[in-house]
Every structure is written in structure tokens, then in C-alpha cells.
Chain A
Amino acid sequence: MMAETGKQEYTRLTEKRVLFIVGLILILIALAGVAVTLGSANLSVADSYLAILAGLFPDAVDLPDRMIESNAVGIVWGWRLHRVLFGIAAGFGLAIAGTVMQGVLRNPLASPFTLGIASAASCGASIAIVLGAGILSGSLLVIGNAFLFAMLAAAAIYGMARLRGMGSEAMILAGIALMYLFSAITSLLQYLGTAAKVQEVVFWMFGSLDKSSWPKLGIVAIVIVAVIPPLLWRAWDLNALAEGDEVAASLGVPVERSMAGFMLAASLVTAVIICFTGTIGFIGLVAPHITRMAIGTDHRTLLPASGLVGAVLLLGADCLARTLIPGAIIPVGIMTAFLGIPFFLYLFMRGRDA
């Protein structure tokens, strides 16, 4: 009888997890529905949806004059829509990257930021902005550099960890060292740069969804679709790694190869997102935490649920950022930082009775 309840409870837990994911999907859809109606252009809710329809079926929809005059369709399809979708994709990707890193490093405070990947991207962007030097040119200058440096940081962490043995402490130490290195370079560039360039660097580092576009959304989507399913397929390995390297190895997980593969996937997803958005923090840290508190640590459900929580968080933060102060657009990275504070306070309070 006792044994039966164990199984039943597990089955119930699994059901609860699935329900959580479904609920999140619904919340996300609703939030997206709200997000497309927000913006500084004077479009009512109905107008926004009308504009969406008009873009899909241009011949079928009869637009009122005021919407043609203010280019409502151009604004919604050329600006709002891809930005909302980008927010969802970016939140999804960053959250999953954070979850993977926390799983591999067995540290719930790990994130793309603690590993210096975000600092590296900022450094690359600064080099592009201040020195005008980079691997790609024109409007891709900053993006190319940010991506390149982020991946360089990931490679450096991998290389350093291999030298010292692929343990989680090694990776975290390497990450912190890199973070300081790249921050120092960025600071030096800010000192040397002209005031206007420093302003640009600072705004880049705030993190914002303003730079999104349909092609960029496509790139991020492709990377996510290519990387996430294999990650999900290997979710059990992540579960095993949580028990310790030795236990994981004894359960048949190729520990070094797995850790390398996971870190590469997480770094790639992070890099491709933040090279377009600048450094948006806290999503990769907070989303996995919240999800873990809600549905536990099985990565088969933790990964997708975390991603959805991240999407909701980022899109929600962006909606707030655009509407909080009328007439001003707060960069979303600042908003996520503010939202992170009550969360950490909560953790701090709660930690007392752990």
C-alpha cells in the first residue's frame, strides 16, 4: 500500500508538471495578445488586431483612414510584432541556457553572467563601438563582435576547465576570471572613448529589444529550434549530473563530453541572443529558480517550463518597460534587473528556514 502511494504521487507530480506547462503557454499567449496592443503610437486594442489582420490578408480588410494615415500596419508589422516574438524567443532561450548552466555547474546561482559570457559580449560590442574594429562591417559590426567574443569566452572556459579537470568549480572560477578580464577591458575602452561612444556602449549594455527585426528573429528561432530538442533529449543526463560527477559517471553518463556539449549549447543560445539585444540579465538566473520551486528538478519538464517562464518574464518586463513612464521607453534590461530584486529578497527571507 505504501509502495502504491509513492508511485501515485509521482504520477500526480508528473501530471502537475504538464499542467504547469500548459498553463504557462496560455499565460504567454494572453500576454502576447496584450503586448501587441502596447506602444506609443495611438492605436486602440481593436486597431492593433485590425492591423495584424490587414497585414495577413491585405485585400480582405478595409482600413479606416486614420490608420492608413498613421501607418498602423507598418508600425504593427514592421515594429511591434517581431519585437513581441523576439521577446518571447529571447526569454525562452536565455532561461533555458541558464537552466542548463545551473544543472551542469550544480550551482543555482550560475547564469550566463556569472560565467563571463555576457561581459565578453559587452567587451566585443565596446570594441566595435569605440574602436570601430570588428569581424563584420556596417550594421553587423557590433553584432558580429558581441557574438564572437561571447563564444570566445565559452571556448576559454572550456579550455581552462579541461586543463584543470572538468569540474564545476573549475568552470566557475574560470568564468569569474573572464568576467573581470572583460569588464576591465570594457572600462578601459569607456575611458578612452568619446562621450558619444560611451553613451552608445552604456545603452548597449542596458539590454533592449529595440534592435529586433524579422531576420534577427529568424536567426534566433533557428538556433533555438536546432539546439533545444537535442537538449531535451539529453535531459536525463542533466538530471544525473545533479547527483554528482561520480554518480553520474556510474549511471552511464559520459560526464566530460556531456558537460562540454551542454555548455556549448547554452553558450551558443546565449551568444546569439545577447549579440542582438545587449546584456539582459536575471532571466537566466530567475526563471530556472522560480520553475524549480514550482515543479522540481526533473529537467525533462524543467527545461521547457523554465523557457516558458523566461518568455513570460521577459515579455512582461518589456510591457512594463514600455508603459510604466508615459513617453519614455525604459530599456528592458533595467526592468528585469528591478524585477530581480524582490525575487532575491524573497529568496533571502525564505533561506532562513531552509
Chain B
Amino acid sequence: MPLLCARGVSFAYNDRRVLEDISFTLDAGEVLGLVGPNGSGKTTLIRCLDRILAPEGEIHLDGRDMLSMSRPEIARMIAYVPQNSGILSSATVFETVLMGRRPHLRWSVSEEDKQTVSDALSLLGISAFASRRIDRLSGGERQRVFIARAIAQDARVLLLDEPTSALDIRNRIEVMALLFRLAEERGLAVVAAIHDLNLAARYCHRLLILKDGLVLGQGTPSSLLTPGMVRAAYGIEAAVKDEVGVPYVVPLRPSDNDRPVELP
């Protein structure tokens, strides 16, 4: 039984179609990478999956129709990790991760809650920052805090919107490797919208390519990533190499759309 099942999901912002007929399934332990050019609808899809937006179509969580679930119930099943930008509260790291317990919390914080938070912090390797204010951390550290919050939420599905965009190469690898490990070890289903095609190819079990709100293709990275697919999605010419058993996309030359800068 797939943990997450989307069928015919569509969404329109004021008469403008953003998503059209998206369908896919996701099993526990799988990492699904959402890739595609800017504006293809990746963020919107993530928001629909968490019911932050209300789309047409069906979404099933562990067999249950999402429409029939209350917001707190959804919150106990799905955790959302936002893009690392914009709103910054001045809470401490511990308190930020503690917010993840809100779907389970009564009014006061129990020992169990505190322990869950502690565990999440050590899992992400940020226990040292527990009492620091979140707006004083670096981008990479902050991203880990948000992921730790999602872990503390004890959810079975993780949705991440560009979790690696603001990170350097080492942090990117660490975060993605962590997500992969979490999925496998805890049986989570992970959906991550990712810009970096190669990073997605390396760490995701499957990819879903979106363009203009439509599914261009879905499947394993090796089966999906071909020069033709890259051209169709991004409009660039690329060769797809095989490195350490994983496909690697190398842009070949500028496409017709490029206007090379003329240097004097």
C-alpha cells in the first residue's frame, strides 16, 4: 500500500492553471525528487500535498482520503520543511524544533516531548546549538533545524521545498544523504523539490519531472534522465554520463536561447 497517492491533482490560481493532472504514488522508505524548471509548479504541488492549498483531484494518505482528515490529523501524518528564506522568528533552536510537537502537544510540554526534540537535534548533529537563537545561525545550520522540526513532528511523510538551495556543496550532500538515510531507516516517504538535477539524481529513488504544471515524466533517475528529456524540460543540450552508477547531466553547449556576452 503506497503511503502517499496522488491522482489527477490540479490547481489554478485565479484562472491561471498552475498544475494539471498530476498523478504519482510513493511508498514508505522512498525519496521522490521533484525537478523541473522555475515556475513549473513544484512549490505549488508541495503545498497541495500538505493541504496548505486545496487542489482538485484526490490525495490519499496511507489509504485515507485527505479530504476526510482534519487539519490536526494531517499534521500528525505530514511534515513540511519550508524554503530557507524569509520569515525568521527569534526563538531558540530548541523551541523551534519543539514547535514540531504542536500536533501532539497539550498545553504544557512533557518530558517525552522534550526527549523527542533532543533526539531530533542529535540526529541532525545540531545539539550544540540548542539554546542559540535561530536568526543567528548560518543557512546550513538553519536548514537542519527545520528538518529536525519535521522529524520531531513524528510524521510519516516529509515534504521539503528546496531544502538545499541556500547551502554549499558539502552541506547539500550531507542534507540529502541524511534524508535518504531517514527514509530508509524510519520508513518515511520523502518528497523534495530540488533545483540541482544531479543532486536529485544521486539521492532520490525516483524523480518526477514537471514542466508548466504537467508531468513530463517519472521514474528512476537512470531510466528518466536522457538528453531528450533534459532538452524537453529545460531547453538545453546536455550529455548524460554515468558516474559511480548514477546518471550525471553535463550541459554541452549554449542553446539557441543563450545570448553569449560579447566581451570587448
Query: Which A residues fall within an 8 A CB radius of B?
Result: 2-7, 9-11, 13-14, 106, 233, 235-236, 239-240, 242-244, 246-247, 249-254, 292, 296-298, 300
Contacts and interface: CB of A to CB of B under 8 A. Distances in A.
A319 to B, nearest CB: 32
A16 to B, nearest CB: 12
Q: Which of B72, B79, B92 has the most CB of A within 10 A?
A: B92
Interface of B: 47, 50-52, 71-72, 74-76, 78-80, 82, 86-87, 89-92, 94-96, 98-100, 102-103, 105, 107, 109, 114-115, 117-119, 121-122, 127-128, 130-131, 153, 159
A4 B75 CA distance: 27
Given A243-B89, A250-B50, 18 more contacts: A4-B118, A6-B94, A6-B121, A6-B130, A10-B94, A10-B98, A13-B131, A106-B87, A236-B105, A240-B99, A242-B89, A249-B51, A249-B52, A250-B80, A251-B103, A252-B72, A252-B103, A296-B95
Given A3-B121, A6-B130, A250-B75, A298 B82 contact: no
Given A244-B82, A249-B52, A252-B103, A2 B75 contact: no
A9 B131 contact: yes
A13 to B, nearest CB: 7
A351 to B, nearest CB: 13
User: DSSP class of A's interface residues: helix, strand, loop or mixed?
Assistant: helix
Q: Which of B51, B103, B118 has the most CB of A within 10 A?
A: B118
B39 to A, nearest CB: 18
A300 B107 contact: yes
A246 B47 contact: yes
| Leading 10 A-B pairs by shortest Cβ distance | A6-B130, A252-B75, A250-B80, A2-B127, A3-B118, A242-B89, A244-B87, A252-B72, A9-B131, A252-B103
B90 to A, nearest CB: 6
Given A243-B87, A249-B52, A2 B128 contact: yes
Contacts of B114: 7, 10-11
B191 to A, nearest CB: 13
Q: Which of A4, A244, A250 has the most CB of B within 10 A?
A: A250
A7 B92 CA distance: 12
B107 A233 contact: yes
B135 to A, nearest CB: 9
